[in-house]
Amino acid sequence: MLDPATRYDGYTSYSYLEAGTDYREFKLAPELGRVPAYQGISLTDGQRDRVRRLLTDNVVISLHDHPSVFPEEIDQTVDYNRTARHHTGYAGLARSGMTAVFDNMMDGTCCVTSQMGWKWTDVIADLGMRLSDLAHQDYLIRVEKLADIRYAHETGRMGLVLATEAATMIENELDRIDMLYGFGVRQMGIAYSEANTLGSGLKERGDGGLTYFGEKAVRRMNKLGIAIDVSHSGDRTSADVIAASTKPIFITHAGSRTVWPTNRMKPDEVIRACAERGGVLGLEAAPHTTLSPAHPEHSIESVMDHFVHCVELVGIDHVAFGPDTLFGDHVGLHDTFAAHLSIAEAHGHVEHPRVSYVDGLENPAECYWNIVSWLVSHDYSDDEIGKVLGGNIMRVLEEVWH
């Protein structure tokens, strides 16, 4: 596992407060060593040195993750989320090799005051509490412009990009997008599985496409400098967003429906349209999503089957990684929030083995060492690896974050 020289000093979330007095304490999952390290890639000493160099020299960006630490007993997550105090996995992130991570917060599990997610007040509580914690340390910095990512890379720090997987919380209030930008949000999804005022999610029986209000929202995001994501949007809505946006967009975490036929994957024509407008697809690794016929037991090999297909489909310049991992039992989290996250509709009913975790891409600390190890062992060039690690994402952000 990578252990670079960083500015991380051992800080843990909310350590400036007294646990049990100032906030309710939960026993959290370990950030390192929760599951056995992946053993599926054999490297020579020279290849191992090359992996370290590639992770050190390149800007490495996760296009989509949830780098929070969840309760060890995952069924306590609802009570944990109600405190609004998600703990950031600082120690795990310091071992990750990443330069920056798009942090998508609690997303559909954000139920601070409501039984359901995506309420405006709950999203603001989530943002505000996380930012209060970030303000008490110096390692993880909030990213608002490209210079912040470069600064993190140059100084041994790590950047955190605030992101949301849907715009549901803005309801019919266009100016709320400006407010979220003011709070530091730099990437937003259109819809999360369920339809909202902007467009349809991927769970809906019918996809009405991007609404007139959704077109206004896309234009506002373009003007503000917010990157747009359609990972959980329906097919027609995704295509409409790509056409309506004056800037390239992201599919931050998905795979190809040609490789695995579920709603959660994107049809090749949407992936191709995204690339033709200059956009980038991030490969997903949340449990039981990016499976493949060759590797139906979900692991890094399944994910890389999607990677190979997408590179062949649109070229290396339009592919990156958005592993969608967290610190804790991700399978258990899906089971706990199955209705909130529309798991059945998204994952479909294609028969496949269930796993307790995705071997090789289980948490943010291990993903990029294993991804680069796989790429090195499959003879990708330094230039190709640099593009998919962060170069492609930086190219899009150069155009979007004006």
Q: Which of 106-110, 225-229, 322-326 has the lowest mean pLDDT?
A: 106-110
Rounded to whole angstroms, the Cα distance separating 298 from 306 reads: 12
**Residue 43 confidence (pLDDT) above 80:** yes
**Residue 340 confidence (pLDDT) above 90:** no
> Of 10, 293, 326, 277, nearest to 138 (Cα)?
10
Rounded to whole angstroms, the Cα distance separating 151 from 141 reads: 9
pLDDT score for 3? 45
Rounded to whole angstroms, the Cα distance separating 224 from 309 reads: 34
pLDDT score for 1? 39
Cα angle 382, 388, 393; round to 5: 130
Rounded to whole angstroms, the Cα distance separating 203 from 83 reads: 29
> Of 396, 47, 54, 59, nearest to 252 (Cα)?
396
- Tens of pLDDT, residues 166-218: 999 999 999 999 999 999 999 999 999 899 999 999 989 999 999 999 999 99
Average pLDDT score over the chain: 95
pLDDT score for 2? 42
* Other CB atoms within 10 Å distance of the CB of residue 276: 12
Pick the more confident residue, 346 or 254. 254
> Of 46, 71, 64, 66, nearest to 255 (Cα)?
64
Under 8 Å between Cβ of 69 and 89: yes
Mean pLDDT for 151-155 is 96
> Of 282, 311, 307, nearest to 393 (Cα)?
282
Query: pLDDT band at residue 116, thresholds of 50, 70 and 90?
Result: confident
Rounded to whole angstroms, the Cα distance separating 250 from 270 reads: 11
Residue 351 C-beta-side C-alpha neighbours within 13 Å = 0
Residue 382 C-beta-side C-alpha neighbours within 13 Å = 11
Mean pLDDT for 124-152 is 97
Mean pLDDT for 223-252 is 98
The residues pairing with 201 across neighbouring beta strands, listed in sequence order, are 233
Cα angle 395, 398, 400; round to 5: 110
- Tens of pLDDT, residues 257-274: 999 999 999 999 999 999
Q: What percent of the chain has pLDDT over 90?
A: 90
Mean pLDDT for 47-54 is 98
Query: pLDDT band at residue 351, thresholds of 50, 70 and 90?
Result: confident
Handedness of CA 329, 331, 334, 335 (dihedral sign): negative
Pull the structure tokens for residue 240. 């409409």
Pull the structure tokens for residue 252. 């931050």
